[in-house]
Structures are given as C-alpha cells and as structure tokens.
Structure 1
C-alpha cells in the first residue's frame, strides 16, 4: 500500500466516522423533538452504526498492510475520530432509554 492509498483510506475513515458523529450530535441536540418519535431515534442510531461499520471496513483494509506502513498523522487522526465516535455511539445507545423514560 502506498502513501496515496493510505491517505485515501484514512480520509474515508474520517468521512464515515464524521457522518456517524454528526448524526449522533444532531440526535442529542434535538432530543426533545425525538423523544416523541422513537422510530426516528432508532433510524438515526442505525444510520450512525452503518457509518461506523463503513469506517471499520476501511480501517480493516489499512490493518491488512500494517506491517509495511510508515507512520501517518492522517491515519492516527482517522483512528482517533473513529474511536471517539464509537464512544459517543455507545453512550448515546446506553443513555437514551434513560433519558426517554425520564421524559414520560
């Protein structure tokens, strides 16, 4: 894998994780509206999960060549973004039922 291919995969990871992060941030920002439309919440969580899965697929492509790669700040940033977004997803998924139940 050359540097250009690595950068393309890292950018795809960033883009996919970024999409998931935006969906989760929007979901939290509009929790009052969404509290009455739980179908919409599940749809948004599923969409965020799909973007995270796409980011992981790109990361897996990179990891297949890990032993031959040089350090890449862009890849480090992409992996950091992916891990942080996964943490947000985990917290939203776990805390959302508590939040919604408290609004009833």
Structure 2
C-alpha cells in the first residue's frame, strides 16, 4: 500500500527544512546531525518518488546523488588499460 503523494511531499519538505536547520547550526565537517538530515532527505525523496509513481505514474526530474557510485566509477576508470598518448614526450620513435 502506497502513501498519499501529498503526505510524502510534506515529509520531503519537512526533511529539507530540518537539513537547512542542521546545516545552519553545523558543528564541524562531520556533524552527525547534518549527516542524519542528509539521509532523511534521501529517504523522504524516495518515498515521495514512489508514491508519485504509484499514484499517478509520474516521476520527478531529480536524481539522488550517490557519492559511492561515483567513486566506484572512478576506480573502474583508473583500473582500465591506459592508452598510449601519441603526444607523450617519453615515447620512443623508431627511425628507418
């Protein structure tokens, strides 16, 4: 059973307001209140998106930023075979 999209939207709005309050009173880079508010936004957004889709078949144009997925992509890129740069000064040129 899906929740009413209006209820889910209100929860998302509340989560955003709580995040703003936590950010305004932040106590250092790793403030647990800000991190908890950040997570609450993600959860409230997912609930809203699900309720919106279940009720109306619609989605928002928003995407949740997943830092861990970005880090995994960077690692895959770093692990890929490197292509030789033809403009690299260290390449040896064969003369005929």
Q: TM-score range by the shorter chain?
A: 0.3 to 0.5
- When normalised by structure 2's length, the TM-score is 0.46
Bigger helix fraction: 1
- When normalised by structure 1's length, the TM-score is 0.43
Higher RCO (Cα < 8 Å, 6 or more apart): 1
